[in-house]
Amino acid sequence: MIECYGSSQLNPLYVADDARRNQLLQEAAGLPSVVISSAAAGNAVMLAAGYFNPLTGFMNLAEAQSVAEKMALPSGLFWPVPILNLVPGGQAIESNGSGRIALLDPNVEGNPVLAIQTVTAIEKISQEQKEAIARHVYGTNDGQHPGVATFMGAGDTIISGPIEVLNYSYFSTEFPGTFRTATQIREMIAKNNWNKVVAFQTRNPMHLAHEQLCRIAQKTVGADGILIHMLLGKLKPGDIPADVRDAAIRKMVDLYFPENTVLITGYGFDMLYAGPREALLHAVFRQNAGATHFIIGRDHAGVGDYYGAFDAQTIFDQIPPDALKIEIFRGDHTVWCFKCQEVVMMRDCPHGKEDYLLLSGTKVREMLSRGEELPKEFARPEVAKILSEFYQSQGK
């Protein structure tokens, strides 16, 4: 199986030992505590699940700046996106002498303890420093960019240091059949005796073009199986909720893929919409999950018009060639061609746009909201039915 990233074995930060976890919960009752942001909670869950191996906790200011500017930690380890615990300066963080604090979950009622952090530094980050980080990571300082807005509004105090994570927040309870850790996915791949695995990232339902892109990639690289790995965390307004997306993808796989050729899984993280930088991060944690290949399609992890259609592919040409062992499958815009009578990648098709079925996201949402059938060349009818029911319920 492919090596995990940055170390000889995965080191997930979830405390699996029951006795140790109970001990930490008792300790937490006497510690200073802070309600962290949803983004920081997602970081903690990804650290817990082994996806952010080999990191041991939250970065400090110098590390965040190094990652933003150079895509590497001061140690030289390649890393594309700062992993931070940013809190508002108004929250006083006092030490009880132990140098440890309890991190409280903002996404679960009652704000239970999510993790315990050993604090190595508490630093202020200036507006100018945050803007510089945003420019590097998101390629813009535009406050209309959802990732920039979240980052700039997250607070001006960085709490750095290693963490021990006590649970997987709401992901394991709300998505028990889908949420999987990197370790669990590796175990599933091993059980299936798959040597080559192509991973597909999605924050949206999968229409016919996405389905076929997975098949094209699987055939091209000779993969034994496909890992459909969906984001389960917070999205921008207007995106389809994870439970609806999960149901739609499961229906598609159940009806249209051969049995035991697809793993449907999800991870607990809030979408960054960071385009190229997020694509690199996605590749890191898919390698940690055991995938040998990763599909990067058109405008991967993008939003609006902030990134070029294939910037998330070309950024892989800008990193050291030995930075990652996972291989990238570069997908083109995938559409139904009426002349070919199948879904094609535009780069492989001799025909033109006049021969393609091109539907905008706005048009698709309008049709679904009105209960209109989507063309069979665009979406599987069973998938469209699930999405139509969701959109029509939003109008009531």
> What does the alpha-carbon distance between residue 181 and residue 386 come to, in Å, rounded to a whole number?
27
Please tell me whether residues 71 and 198 are part of one structural domain: no
How much is the pLDDT for 395? 65
The stretches in the chain having pLDDT less than 70 are: 90-92, 94-98, 395-396
Q: 167, 197, 225: which is the final residue of a domain?
A: 167
Q: 133, 167, 201: which is the final residue of a domain?
A: 167
**Domain that includes residue 95, residue range:** 18-167
Residues 169, 41: contact at Cβ < 8 Å? Answer: yes
Please tell me whether residues 229 and 119 are part of one structural domain: no
Please tell me whether residues 159 and 219 are part of one structural domain: no
Closest CA to 271 of 123, 135, 146: 146
Give pTM, 2 decimals: 0.95
3-state secondary structure of 354: helix
Estimate the crossing angle of helix 242-256 against helix 381-394, to 10 degrees: 160
Please tell me whether residues 283 and 255 are part of one structural domain: yes
How much is the pLDDT for 332? 92
Q: What is the pLDDT of residues 354-374, one digit of tens each?
A: 999 998 888 998 898 888 999
CATH number, residue 360: 3.40.50.620
Please tell me whether residues 31 and 138 are part of one structural domain: yes
Q: Name the catalytic one among 203, 215, 330, 365.
A: 203
- Cα dist from 189 to 49, 194, 265, whole Å: 16, 6, 12
Task: Count, in order, helices (H) and strands (E) of the chain.
Answer: 13, 15
Please tell me whether residues 219 and 126 are part of one structural domain: no
Please tell me whether residues 186 and 103 are part of one structural domain: no
How many other CB atoms sit within 10 Å of the CB of residue 299? Answer: 18
Please tell me whether residues 113 and 186 are part of one structural domain: no
Residues 13, 48: contact at Cβ < 8 Å? Answer: yes
How much is the pLDDT for 92? 60
What total of structural domains would you count in the chain?
2
Please tell me whether residues 213 and 293 are part of one structural domain: yes
Q: Name the catalytic one among 111, 141, 192, 204.
A: 204
Prior bond of 54 cis (ω within 30°): yes
- Sign of the alpha-carbon dihedral angle for 165, 78, 150, 172: negative
Q: 148, 167, 186: which is the final residue of a domain?
A: 167
Please tell me whether residues 158 and 305 are part of one structural domain: no
How much is the pLDDT for 89? 75
CATH number, residue 78: 3.10.400.10
User: Which residues lie below 8 Å from residue 287, measured CB to CB, with a gap of 6+?
Assistant: 2, 3, 4, 5, 294, 324, 325, 326
How much is the pLDDT for 394? 81
Please tell me whether residues 180 and 261 are part of one structural domain: yes
Strand order across the beta sheet in which 225-231 lies = 262-267, 225-231, 197-202, 293-296, 327-330
Q: Is 203 annotated in the active site?
A: yes
Q: Is 193 annotated in the active site?
A: no
Please tell me whether residues 137 and 180 are part of one structural domain: no
Residue 209 amino acid letter: A
Residues 263, 214: contact at Cβ < 8 Å? Answer: no
